[in-house]
Amino acid sequence: MKISAPCVVALSWRLEDAQSQLIDELAEPLEFFYGGHDLFAKVEEALLDQEAGHQASLALEPEHAFGDYDSSLVCFEARNLFPEGVEAGMQFEGLPPGAATEDMPEGIYTVTDVYPEHVVLDGNHPLAGIGLRMHLKVLDVRAATEAEIEAGSLGEAVFSLLGGAPADEPLH
């Protein structure tokens, strides 16, 4: 079966940064809805009309992946708004109650630094602003079920596995 919307593709991949440093490897195949919200548009473009066994290497610039880094999504909040054990790398959905920063969008914020008086939060996807190299292989293609077509997805967006949604599926 050739890949065309809507269908389900089983993929494996190796995701690297522009310096060929490994970011993620999906060795066991995982299914994704093609023609919905599961894959970046550039990945879907590369898969169109392909079949099981197809391999591709793609260069994804930030605007085609997790977007450019937005420094306006970084804020400083009072340390006393956070639990005692807060540490860099923790993630919170939305800003904490009592946050002083105004006009910050809803989303997932990552703690980047913890100081005695404040905590630094970053609302960017961890891979925002990074050029990516994706080496993928199509392992299977099947027709999508009616429920999958209606949902436009098989569940979570593919790149939520890497810490967030694709740029065309913003967290905020």
Sorted by where each starts, the structural domains of the chain and their CATH numbers stand as 7-66+130-162 (3.10.50.40), 71-122 (2.40.10.330)
Which region among 33-42, 60-69, 119-128, 150-159 has the lowest average model confidence (pLDDT)? Answer: 150-159
Six token digits for residue 9: 């593709």
Where are the alpha helices (H) located in the chain, listed in sequence order? 41-47, 146-151
Q: Is the pLDDT of residue 159 over 70?
A: no
pTM of the model: 0.77
Angle (CA) 96 98 91, round 5°: 10
Q: Is the pLDDT of residue 54 over 50?
A: yes
Q: Is the pLDDT of residue 23 over 70?
A: yes
Q: What is the mean pLDDT of residues 69-98?
A: 90
Single out the residue of 21, 27, 4, 63 nearest to residue 136, CA to CA. 27
pLDDT of residue 45: 96
SS3 of 69, please? coil
The whole-angstrom separation of Cα 59 and Cα 20 is 11
At 89, phi and psi to the nearest 5? 100, -20
pLDDT category, 98, cuts 50, 70, 90? Answer: confident
pLDDT of residue 156: 58
pLDDT of residue 27: 87
